[in-house]
Amino acid sequence: MSLKEDINYSLWCDFIERDFLENRFQEIIKDEIIQGATSNPAIFESSITNSVAYKQQLDMLQANNEKTIYEELALTDIKRAAQLLSDLHKANNDDGFISIEVDPSLCDDAQGTIEEGLRLYSSINAENVMIKVPATEAGYIAMRELTSKGIHVNATLIFSPIQAVKCAQALDEGIKDSNKDIKAVVSVFVSRFDRMCDGDFINKGLETSKLGIINATKCYHEVNKFGNKNIRTLFASTGVKGKELAPSYYIDNLIFPNSVNTAPLATIEDWLKDGVQEESEIMCEKKCDEYFKTIALKNVNMNKIYDDLLTQGLDAFKVSFKDLLAKLIN
């Protein structure tokens, strides 16, 4: 029995690019390697500016403003991805999703996020689309409203257990209000913790490459407390930088029941080749809490780490989006 069937575990590809959609993407769907896909402003910035596949449509759109051009390009890809994933979604409506993120500059604007989420969802007109909303105070309001209106939501840029709880609460309330079979994921970022903190941990005599996984596990426990099977924890930012770890390290250690891992294509292929193909041992919540107490004794300030990572994440997406818009007018 596969991991998908056994524990409702899914692997989604964290990449969108037009030529990829017409080639390798279809192969990994057919071969049942992935069960969905995600995108973000940084991915689109890289794809649209580095691939010649967008040139013809880009030239045709030059009479429009930058954001209109971006949306036409991005929505073309999202619609195509949704079409390619539609059979998967029909077979199992937990999967077969593609995500598109609202304009990152709206991260503190609840009403603006709601309006853009509704507009994007309507423009794509596909059942298997998730609207991606950052986990800010405004974002929690938008998540609740969008799910209550029957829209699937990917809550993103989650670093702290508090964020995970607030997202799960908003999504749980919205899904229940909708009276529909609405799905949502709580996207917990993983590897960025270790990239930020490992140098300091070495100096303090703490084990490296552990914080991201233990923090993600704590968030997973918090989401599961809501008991809503339509809300799954999604482990994001799971690519490995450098050669200290196995390329599939952040997949190998987070294969949990009723969860999703979204990873870059190269990471997925490394996992298929050499990775662990069985359910991971899950650290109990008590041990997660003990770990945080241990590192606090070494003057590790988790609240500052959470705040810094969220700020960096929001800023990075804003910069990617702004840079992309600036490149769209010839």
Two structure tokens written together for 180: 């529909």
* 120-140 pLDDT tens trace: 999 999 999 999 999 999 999
The total of other beta-carbon atoms located within 10 Å of residue 254's CB is 23
Residues of the chain with pLDDT under 70: 1-2
Q: What fold is seen in the domain 3-327?
A: TIM Barrel (3.20.20)
pLDDT on residue 1: 41
- Contact criterion met (CB below 8 Å) for 41 and 324: yes
**Domain edges within the chain:** 3-327
- Contact criterion met (CB below 8 Å) for 310 and 189: no
H or E stretch at 141? helix 137-148
Catalytic positions, written as ranges: 132
| DSSP calls for 264-283 | -HHHHHHHHHHS--SPPPPP
Alpha carbons 270 and 275: distance in angstroms, whole number = 7
* 75-111 pLDDT tens trace: 999 999 999 999 999 999 999 999 999 999 999 999 9
pLDDT on residue 3: 73
| DSSP calls for 14-79 | E---HHHHHTHHHHHHHTTS-SEEE--HHHHHHHHHH-GGGHHHHHHTTTS-HHHHHHHHHHHHHH
